[in-house]
Amino acid sequence: MTEQWSAPTVDGPVHATVPVPGSKSITNRALVLAALADRPSTVHAPLRSRDTLLMAAALRSLGIGVEDGPDGSWLVAPGTMRGPARVDCGLAGTVMRFLPPAAALAVGDVSFDGDEHARVRPMTTILDALRALGADVEGDALPFTLHGKGGVPGGEVTVDASASSQFVSGLLLSAARYEGGVTVRHSGRPVPSLPHIEMTVSMLREAGVEVDDSTRDVWRVAPGPVAALDRHVEPDLSNATPFLAAAAVTGGSVTIPGWPARTTQPGGAARELFERMGCAVELTAGGLTLTGPDRLTGIDVDLRDESELTPTVAALAALADGPTRIRGVAHIRGHETDRIAALAAEINRLGGDAEETEDGLVITPRPLRGGVWRAYADHRMATAGAIVGLVVGGVAVDDIGSTTKTIPDFPGMWSAMLGAR
């Protein structure tokens, strides 16, 4: 169900410290690896949002133990995965693309389905790859069914991952449990969001899996065990950016505690992006603090590797001095919605000037007015509307509930931030 939300408008700088929940990307990778491990694991400080709860529920349906720990952790007890099972992917790309390669190891049938919007998201690449590796797959998009035989031969497969890095990560996460391991070769336009693949490779190596990524666009995973780990999940840096943006657009100051000095999260690039737009950014032991300028500066930026930041950057650009060009993000037309078209439509709906290009947007600031900002069931579209609404009166986000995909209570966190000022 959708829930329209009147975005709060402020008349002065926002000053707050905002703790941000754990990374969705790390949490769902950690859950899959823990399910494939040789003994129980603990995932500390996991994100508990719609996407991660769907992953946990899917693993439970396959016979994996995922129990609540006393400190909010998840205790994961691996075992033989078995069907029949039904997996609800919701709108989570990490569930629909990370779990099928693992579920192919199950004994019995495992069926996958999801939200209406999920049924049009690209899936052929990973399902065809699973067939090439020896899995029995019925269907080419959601809904589809895996006929599990308890194992997969594995081998070498060539894919076009130019639509999503998740196709590569999904295959790599379970590859060590395939009889011959897996070699994934990419052929096509450059893979977007490469930091997400680097995150996957790093987490595999931490679990003792042998991965060779020394050749560009080739990833080799040797067969072998996956070690259990007590893994601590970093704050979600991409989810932190709307809160940092509140300081950027109001000339205020916001601190995100626990921001790591080094990270594989694409959201880590937000530091440089905000600085380029005129903000002051400082990382200390207490976290990352952003202080906004008198006026934001428009930029020309390639976001291929950090494309999930596009809605936040677009919202800032609509409120900046001077035009912004966002390039390299053609693949986000296949995300929760066509984010390029959606951002252009909503900025223009409020009186702005946003022009679609083949691989991005050109945004020329104009005075904005209030109105309904449509989220398109997309959490990052919803948070972009909240950013605009801070300084433009009368903005209402039509589906703030979509933010539960990755942030359990975005409206509550937003209100608490504004109340602190």
Q: Which residues are annotated as a binding site for phosphoenolpyruvate?
A: 24, 93, 121, 166, 339, 380, 405
Catalytic residue among 234, 306, 308, 346: 308
Enumerate helices (H) and strands (E) in the chain, giving the number of each: 12, 23
In the three-class reduction of DSSP (H, G, I as helix; E, B as strand; rest coil), residue 377 is classed as coil
Instruction: Give the burial class of 303: count Cβ atoms within 10 A of its Cβ; 0-12 exposed, 13-18 middle, 19 or more buried.
Output: buried
First to last CA, the chain: 32
Cα–Cα distance between 240 and 289 in angstroms, integer?
11
Q: From 72, 21, 27, 19, select the one nearest 231 (Cα to Cα).
A: 27
Q: From 130, 72, 73, select the one nearest 98 (Cα to Cα).
A: 130
Q: Which two tokens stand for residue 67?
A: 């129990």
Check whether the bond before 143 is cis (ω within 30° of 0). yes
Query: Cβ distance 75 to 40 under 8 Å?
Result: yes
Residue with tokens 């780990």: 229
Sign of the dihedral through C-alpha 241, 243, 249, 255: negative
Query: Cβ distance 239 to 406 under 8 Å?
Result: yes
Cα–Cα distance between 187 and 208 in angstroms, integer?
28
DSSP single-letter state for residue 294: S
- β pairing state of 182-186 and 155-159: parallel
Rg (CA), the chain: 21
Q: From 5, 27, 3, 42, select the one nearest 386 (Cα to Cα).
A: 5
Residue numbering of the annotated binding site: 24-25, 29, 93, 121, 164-166, 193, 308, 335, 339, 380, 405
Say whether 308 is catalytic: yes
Residue numbering of the annotated binding site for 3-phosphoshikimate: 24-25, 29, 164-166, 193, 308, 335
Cα–Cα distance between 81 and 58 in angstroms, integer?
11
- Give the active site residues: 308
